[in-house]
Amino acid sequence: MKKITNFGIFTILLVSSLTIMVGTVIAPALSGIVEHRNLGFSPSWLITLPSLGVVLFAPLIGRLLPKLGSLKLLSLGLVPYAILGVIGAFISNDYILILDRILLGGATVAVQVSITGYIADCFTGETRMKMIAWQGMAIELGGVVFLAIGGILGEINWQFPFYIYLIALLCLVFVLKTLPKPEITSSTEKITTETPKTNKNRVKLIFIASLLAMMLFFVGFVTLPLYLPQTFEFTESVTGYFMASISLVAIITASQMPRMVKLLGDGKTLVFGFLFFMLGYLVLATTASIPFLVLTVIFIGVGFGFTIPLLNHMMVEASTAKTQGKNLGLFSMGVFGGQFLSTFIEYVSHDYKAIYAVAVGLALIIASAMLFMFINVTKK
């Protein structure tokens, strides 16, 4: 295989950023969408319905990965991603719009599974962990850039943020021009001293942790676009900047994640991530002061940086060449299933502080459970 150039690595990271963009790019303009569209369903579904699509299509995509290969599957996912994303601005029928957002999730999981599979095929050891960490940083950097742009465009016109999905076509050009075909050999088969049962239990635990981590993270993304304008009179652009700053902290944290793993181990690092989620929502639940919102940005950003990128790497490491497609599909189901579950936090109460208080309790319970379960799996 030809050596991957720096432009090729940039392409990998740019494509990776599309996964967070799928729901969040229109989040800052959600209030404007509500104003101009008479939706017959909760507006937050526009953000989380693609997540349901990921859950529904992930098993199929996981089986397609070893058959088509990572590059071909990636190319096949980018085109419908762009088309299904942008036409959402022009669909007036609720049922067709719901279907469009679900199908967009199917294209998204094809992109996510294939680009992570490509990283697993082309990198090994510490280099692979570094690339996974960079991938996590790229995902959140995409959140910073696309949230900010989405907020600015949303102030001009509520439909404009949907055009950002067309960047997937640019990604396709870069993929075809810069990424060499990976050589799949027997050397890509992961050598592990774990028993099949122990490894299977670890995969299940990673799946559960990814689902719960993303659920907690996205509680903020489905509530803040409405909570911040109501409570602090934030505009769409300011809301976008605020949410983008969470992603910025997550980028910095993800860059330090490998060091934390070396120092504490993956299980304890993960538990710290859930505890930071708890602190972030504790601030929102107990205060309505703008200066304290800075703490929320820091805590939730750190929570993401110590959970999702780490869990992604853990899933890759727990996979063999034979199980890679299935396990990466399972990871996608966990991540986006968590996004979809976050929608239902709105049914807890009409009081956002009560919602954030529930998130605090959930984060503490999950952190305690994860500590116990990872210790238990490690001992077996």
Q: Is residue 173 part of a domain?
A: yes
Q: Is residue 188 part of a domain?
A: no
CB of 303 within 8 A of CB of 217?
yes
pTM comes to 0.75
Q: Is residue 58 part of a domain?
A: yes
Backbone phi, psi, residue 340, to 5°: -65, -40
Q: Is residue 186 part of a domain?
A: no
Q: Tell me which amino acid residue 68 is.
A: L
**H-assigned helices in the chain:** 6-24, 30-36, 45-68, 70-86, 94-122, 125-156, 167-178, 196-232, 236-264, 266-286, 293-305, 308-317, 324-342, 352-379
pLDDT in tens, 205-248: 999 999 999 999 989 878 888 888 888 888 877 887 888 788 88
Q: Is residue 136 part of a domain?
A: yes
Sign for the CA dihedral angle at 42, 90, 143, 62 comes to positive
Q: Is residue 135 part of a domain?
A: yes
CB of 331 within 8 A of CB of 311?
yes
Q: What is d(CA 86, CA 84) in angstroms, rounded to the nearest whole number? A: 6
Task: Write out the residue range of the structural domain in which residue 102 sits.
Answer: 6-180+193-379
pLDDT category at 186 given cuts 50, 70, 90 is very low
Angle between helix axes 266-286 and 196-232 (nearest 10 degrees) is 20
Q: Is residue 185 part of a domain?
A: no
Tally the domains of the chain: 1
Q: Is residue 187 part of a domain?
A: no
Q: What is d(CA 119, CA 177) in angstroms, rounded to the nearest whole number? A: 17
| Residue with tokens 């959970």, as numbered in its chain | 307
pLDDT in tens, 314-328: 888 888 777 877 888
Sign for the CA dihedral angle at 120, 58, 45, 205 comes to negative
Coil, strand or helix at 1: coil
| Residue with tokens 């995969």, as numbered in its chain | 203
CATH number, position 140: 1.20.1250.20
Q: Which of 93, 49, 126 has its CA nearest to residue 343?
A: 49
pLDDT in tens, 81-126: 999 999 988 888 889 999 999 999 999 999 988 998 898 888 877 7
